[in-house]
């Protein structure tokens, strides 16, 4: 039976509308109708009580949540736990992210994601392999001993997910252009990250098929007057997308506002880079055998290096409004429409429109999540 979501402020491509009902049938949005449409009277209704109704959030970088870390437990149970934790914060579609690890662990992670998608684990779209093809000089908390250059067999393994999206973050200066082209030819979306590359090396990567930048500003060569670096290449390039961690720690809000001013509209999107404490009571977790504890909302290892984040997507959206000065509709699109387009899923995810997945999030006037639907279901 169809359900009409009524009495909400609905985010459409035209902006917020308070005169529309969103009709959901099964896992799809069937139609958007004026409140007075006669068909609504014959339909089950759900009163949103004035809440904002937004497209469900799409997170391209989720390392963990609910106390689970994908690297430590590359299995379907961990994926269920992580997804459930982030769902409370409006994330309805996401990429489990495996940071640099051995080939066997990568195979396990890909197999777990394949099975999760086959079983319909809510929200799992594919996998993000953040490494291990990275630059030691910009390793962050990644284990340098795992770094390597992919050969033909590893390229085939890394792109072997056959029922979902594969995003691979690499350092373009560490991977031959022909290998980048091979990854893209096998269906991978390739982003530059954890890179010490020069502007010229990053441009070569873009020419070979790189289409995104992972957590812009972090773990990449900076923009300077005589050396634009990775940041300069990212901000100059018209076609590429940039993920940003809007927690006020990974990058100064002014730097993020510069990125928004430099890039074309729709090319900057929000990610969390979330770790296990998101949605969990325990602020500590194990990474590469080291215990890491969140302090004052910041995740750092013993050496003081940022180790992912304790950010959830609802907070990222609020920070978009409060720290970056964005209107809520644009902050919401940065959490839904734009990452969906980056992943090549913009025709199915990230919008409230007829034919789209009924992935929805309701937020109150304080921008707190009050309800989340994945495929039309709250379960």
Catalytic, 273? Answer: yes
* Contacts of residue 366, Cβ cutoff 8 Å, sequence gap at least 6: none
Distance CA 82, CA 109 (A): 14
Distances (CA, A) of 241 to 139, 177, 196: 21, 19, 19
Q: Is 141 annotated as belonging to a binding site?
A: yes
- Among residues 69, 140, 74, the alpha carbon closest in space to that of 282 is found at 69
Does 219 appear as a known binding residue?
yes
The reply, when asked if residue 86 is annotated as ligand binding, is no
Is residue 79 a known part of a binding site?
Answer: no
- Smallest CA-to-CA distance from 303 within 139, 100, 165 is with 139
Peptide bond into 132 cis (omega under 30): yes
Joined tokens for residue 141: 């908390």
**Residue 324 marked ligand-binding:** no
Q: Which of 64, 55, 67 is nearest to 91 (CA)?
A: 55
Q: What are the residues whose beta carbons fall under 8 Å from the beta carbon of 167, sequence distance 6 or more?
A: 60, 95, 126, 127, 128, 129, 188, 189, 190, 191, 212, 343
List, in order, residues 6 or more apart from 19 with CB less than 8 Å away.
34, 35
308 is in an annotated binding site: yes
Token output for 303: 């050496």
The catalytically annotated residue of 59, 273, 312, 359 is: 273
What is the pairing mode between strands 165-170 and 189-192?
Answer: parallel
Residue 183 and residue 205: Cα distance in Å, rounded? 12
Would you tell me how many other CB atoms lie within 10 Å of the CB of residue 38?
Answer: 7
Q: Is 13 labeled as ligand-binding? A: no
Residues 46/3, Cβ–Cβ less than 8 Å: yes
Q: Residues annotated in the binding site for substrate, as ranges?
A: 141, 218-219, 226, 250, 306-308
Annotated binding site for Zn(2+): 130, 194, 215
> Which positions make up the binding site?
130, 141, 194, 215, 218-219, 226, 250, 306-308
Kindly list the catalytic residues: 273
């Amino acid at each position: 039976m169809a359900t009409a979501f009524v009495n909400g402020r609905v985010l459409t491509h035209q902006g917020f509308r308070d005169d529309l009902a969103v009709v959901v049938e099964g896992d799809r949005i069937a139609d958007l109708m004026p409140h007075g449409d006669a068909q609504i009277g014959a339909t089950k209704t759900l009163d949103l009580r004035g809440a904002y109704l937004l497209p469900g959030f799409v997170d391209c970088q989720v390392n963990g949540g609910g106390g689970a870390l994908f690297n430590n437990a590359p299995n379907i149970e961990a994926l269920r736990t992580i997804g459930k934790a982030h769902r409370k914060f409006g994330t309805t579609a996401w990429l489990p992210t495996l940071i640099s690890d051995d080939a066997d662990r990568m195979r396990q992670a890909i197999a777990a994601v394949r099975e999760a998608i086959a079983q319909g684990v809510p929200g799992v779209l594919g996998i993000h392999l953040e490494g291990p093809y990275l630059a030691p000089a910009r390793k962050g908390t990644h284990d340098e001993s795992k770094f390597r250059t992919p050969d033909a067999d590893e390229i085939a393994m890394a792109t072997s997910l056959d029922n979902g999206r594969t995003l691979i973050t690499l350092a373009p200066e560490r991977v031959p252009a022909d290998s980048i082209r091979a990854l893209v030819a096998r269906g991978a979306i390739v982003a530059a990250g954890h890179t010490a590359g020069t502007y010229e090396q990053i441009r070569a990567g873009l020419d070979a098929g790189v289409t995104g930048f992972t957590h812009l500003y972090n773990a990449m060569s900076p923009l300077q007057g005589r050396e634009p670096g990775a940041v300069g290449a990212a901000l100059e390039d018209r076609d590429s997308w940039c993920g940003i961690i809007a927690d006020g720690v990974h990058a100064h809000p002014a730097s993020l506002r510069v990125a928004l001013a430099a890039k074309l509209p729709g090319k900057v999107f929000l990610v969390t880079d979330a770790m296990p404490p998101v949605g969990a009571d325990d602020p500590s977790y194990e990474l590469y055998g080291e215990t890491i504890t969140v302090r004052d909302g910041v995740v750092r290892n013993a050496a003081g290096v940022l180790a992912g984040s304790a950010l959830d997507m609802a907070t990222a959206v609020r920070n978009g409004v409060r720290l970056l000065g964005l209107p809520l509709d644009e902050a919401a699109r940065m959490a839904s429409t734009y990452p969906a387009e980056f992943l090549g899923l913009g025709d199915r995810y990230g919008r409230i429109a007829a034919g789209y997945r009924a992935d929805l999030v309701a937020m109150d006037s304080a921008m707190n999540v009050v309800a989340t639907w994945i495929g039309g279901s709250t379960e």
